[in-house]
Amino acid sequence: MRAAGTGAPAPASPAHTSPTPSGTPSAGAAKPLAGRVVAIDPGHNAHNFQHTAEINKPVKVGNGTKECDTTGTSTDGGYAEADFNLDVAHRLRALLTAQGAKVVLTHDGDRPWGPCVTDRAETGNRTKADVALSIHADGAPVGRRGFHVILPGRVDEGGADNGPIVAPSRRLGEDLRDAFQRVTGSARSNYIGRGTGLDTRTDLGGLNLSTVPKVFIECGNMRDPKDAALLTSAKWRQKAALGMAEGIDRYLE
């Protein structure tokens, strides 16, 4: 999730494997998410580094201002977080759609930059999503490993009021954490959350401005070689998507 530096060359990406809806209902089975709307936000944009003026423009997030968007991070081998996020988002969309959900993405790799964090929040709000999830990977020092889920803290200022979604977002976050850990086998973060796998923040516009239950997930640390080996694996990314889908299923039961 951390910015990798705006002047870096475009990172190369490993070959993407088409998402396969493993673990989804078979043909003719009941679709448990029929009628549900899920908003998926693939964090960042692989072309943001080419549009520094646009992404550095400040936007209002209730309790202050933030950059419109950031570049995100990458592995030492050049696999961009933005590419990871979008790949997992596609896999998750396939899984949820197979269960009957209507899935909306904040972007689908079809924009030159962004969108801004304000627009990312608005996608879930406008579609009245039952759940909104922002997918990321972290950029911490080597040795800091594992995943964590970011929950919204209470913000009621500057036109933002996320009070009604704080409690349901925590339930969503707990369900997502438990399912993600079970399916992927990944450990909870050893550097954020004190072993809970949860972190509450009030500095993220995507959470401050949301009017629907929403969390972020940091799937691992791209700067750590052991975590990076997982994040660059298509097989593991499918497990990550399945863990997210099962967490959303559990929350919506």
CATH for 126:
3.40.630.40
All residues at 6 or more sequence positions from 5 whose CB lies less than 8 Å from its CB, including other chains = 49, 71
Within-domain flag for 25: no
How confident is the prediction along the chain (253 residues), in pLDDT tens digits per residue?
754 333 343 344 444 444 444 444 455 568 999 999 999 999 999 999 999 999 999 999 999 999 999 999 999 999 999 999 999 999 999 999 999 999 999 999 999 999 999 999 999 999 999 999 999 999 999 999 999 999 999 999 999 999 999 999 999 999 999 999 999 999 999 999 999 999 999 999 999 999 999 999 999 999 999 999 999 999 999 999 999 999 999 999 9
Q: Is residue 2 part of a domain?
A: no
Tell whether 17 is covered by a domain. Answer: no
User: What's the confidence (pLDDT) of residue 2?
Assistant: 58
Cα separation, 157 vs 87, whole angstroms: 35
Confirm whether 56 is domain-assigned: yes
Domain-embedded: residue 30: no
* Active-site entry in 67, 81, 174, 218: 218
Residue 26 CB neighbours (<10 A)? 6
pTM of the model: 0.90
Instruction: Write out the residue range of the structural domain in which residue 240 sits.
Output: 37-252
Catalytic residue status for 218: yes
CA distance 243 to 175: 10
Return the half-sphere exposure (C-beta side, CA atoms, 13 A cut-off) of residue 206: 30
In a domain, 190, yes or no: yes
In a domain, 9, yes or no: no
Determine the distance from the C-alpha atom of residue 42 to the mean position of all C-alpha atoms in its chain, rounded to a whole number. Answer: 6
Structural domains of the chain, count: 1
Is 23 inside a domain boundary?
Answer: no
Partner residues linked to 74 by β-bridges = 80
